[in-house]
A and B are shown apart, each in its own frame.
Chain A
Amino acid sequence: MLLTVSAPAAAQAPAPAGQTGFEAADAAAQEDPREVVGAPKGAALAGPALEARTEEVAALLRCPVCQGLSIADSPASMATKMKARVRELLAAGYDEEQILAYFERSYGEFVRLEPPRRGINWLVWLAPPMALLGGLVLVSRVFMRPKGVSVAPPGPPAPSADSLPSRDALPDDPALARNVLRIREQAYGWPGGVPPAETP
């Protein structure tokens, strides 16, 4: 149980082994994660593998004091402490799911940056691909429509280029032709009513 006397500094620095070790450990004791998520299911990690895995798991946890950042990305002090906790749990052999469940117990599902695939959360995972699939079906149906079946109701046929008189055509009547040329000269500024050479 508790010691009746304890040095206040005991918990700040690791106590030298053998002397006040019990006191120091006791002064900062926490519940055993085993009570929350059971015995470790994974292999205990160490060294570079531990560091790499810490980053991966930390990237899945939301920093509670930030806006939409993972604890891997956040410089906040609390996020750093949570990352240290993740490292500790990985070193003790807890697997990813156990660690996520450990934090979820305290912070709720919100702490997971990826909604766990269960219950109504399936909507979040399935709705976007379903919508995409639906869109593809819709688009393919429009494009695969058999030729000749028109979407728009048939309207008056568009005038074709052949049916319009060309701009330098003149009526057969010479008097009428002269008038047309004069009008073209006035209206378009063409000298003599003769259209300028086509410029591309």
Chain B
Amino acid sequence: MNRRVLAVGLLVVVPLIGILVLNIGRDPHAFNSPMIGRPAPTFTLRALGGGEPVSLAALRGRPVVINFWATWCVPCYEEHAVLVAAAREAGDSVQFLGVIYEDDADRVADFLSRQGSAYPSLMDDDGKTAMAYGIYGVPETFFVDAQGRIAAKYTGPLHREALAENLVLAGGGKS
């Protein structure tokens, strides 16, 4: 009888402990985006500082890097320089886009005038683009291939190597 109780108890408790141990320290937000491999949600957004609105659909035919960021996000400062440098280097072969997440246009304009810019920053005032891409926080960067599919997503500040690796997945840059 006691052995049976023990066996049943272990049968219940051991798998539970196993699940807990396996998931310790795992951030529930940090799973692969369900969007990888799927068509990138289209959008047409107003670019900061005027100019024509930018439409993702019109950019089909070359890889697009979509970086969601904000000036209140400290890691975004670090990655900004990396993105600007990469955009200058890539020239026309890759289109870089910044989508502003929960920030106001004046602050972004001020930031860009001080830190430099090399690609359009798009205003997503009603947050619909961030919603369509399932943004949990900034920075998050999507790599869209020439066919308009999301090839990769990077959460957190990009550094040179990560940017290059993910760009290759989207069919851009040098492998």
Contact = CB atoms under 8 A, between A and B. Distances in A.
Contacts of B47: 8
Interface residues of A, number: 35
A7 B47 CA distance: 10
A131 B107 CA distance: 55
Given A4-B52, A31-B42, A106-B41, A64 B135 contact: yes
Interface in B2-49: 28-29, 31, 33-35, 38, 41-49
Interface string A75-90: 0011001101100000
Contacts of B28: 110
Nearest to B43: A30
A1 interface: yes
A28 B44 contact: yes
Given A1-B58, A104-B34, A110 B29 contact: yes
Secondary structure of the B side of the interface? loop
Given A106-B34, A106-B134, A108-B34, A6 B50 contact: yes
Interface stretch (B80-88, B92-100, B124-132, B166-174): B124-132
A3 B46 contact: no
B131 A82 contact: yes
Contacts of A12: 125
A7 B44 CA distance: 14
Contact of B125 (A3, A5, A11, A64): A11
Contacts of B34: 104-109
B52 A3 contact: yes
A84 B35 contact: no
A11 B47 CA distance: 10
Given A10-B46, A27-B46, A108-B134, A78 B33 contact: no
A82 B127 contact: yes
Contacts of B45: 11, 27-28
Nearest to A1: B58
B134 A107 contact: yes
A52 interface: no
A30 B42 contact: yes
Contacts of A105: 34-35, 38, 134
Contacts of A10: 46
7 contacts: A8-B46, A11-B53, A27-B44, A29-B55, A103-B134, A108-B34, A111-B134
Given A8-B47, A8-B50, 9 more contacts: A6-B53, A11-B125, A27-B45, A27-B46, A28-B45, A82-B131, A84-B126, A105-B35, A106-B35
